[in-house]
Amino acid sequence: MKLHELKNVPGAVHRKKRVGCGEGGGHGKTSGRGGKGQTARSGGSIRPGFEGGQMPLYRKLPHRGFNNYEHRIEIAVLNVGDLAGLEAGVTEVNATLLAASGLLRKGETVVKILGDGEITRALKVTAAKFSASAKAKIEQAGGQAIVG
């Protein structure tokens, strides 16, 4: 199959709705907007949450309590397989080295190492957290997993 051979599934493409073009088209007279009033006018929309002057639900409910969003700690995750792709001369791995090698984004300092992939050489890895499988794979290859 080639790009020029692709076709839409039957029923995927619809005609454009032509409103205000006479009653025969099915969208004449009021053009699908119903009768008179605010919603029939151009630009006449009611903001989300508006209940016609009744006290809206979002104002009835109490807004209190703690939200952790401002105080959260973002943890960057890396797999053991990613560590295997580091340069040959590297023996000690930490967040600054990972950032320099392009495995971490700017500002990421807290790292958790996960166990996906394989590692064959001995590395001394310093990270905030390790999964059990990652720790086992690093130590099996003759390296060290240091929580720090």
Residues 100-116 have a mean pLDDT of 93
Residue 97 lies in a domain: yes
Distance CA 104, CA 76 (A): 7
Q: Is the dihedral of CA 108, 114, 120, 125 positive or negative?
A: positive
**What is the mean predicted confidence (pLDDT) over 87-108?**
91
What is the pTM assigned to this prediction? 0.58
- Kindly give, in sequence order, each residue whose CB lies less than 8 Å from that of residue 25, ignoring residues fewer than 6 positions away: 18, 19
Does 62 map to a domain? no
Whether residue 79 lies inside any domain: the answer is: yes
Give the count of domains, the chain: 1
Residue 120 sits in a domain whose CATH number is 3.100.10.10
pLDDT tens digit string along 119-135? 999 999 999 999 999 99
* pLDDT tens column, 25-84: 899 999 999 999 999 999 988 999 999 999 999 999 998 888 899 999 999 999 999 998
Is the model more confident about 138 or about 107? 138
Amino acid at site 64: R
Question: What is the domain extent for residue 99?
Answer: 73-147
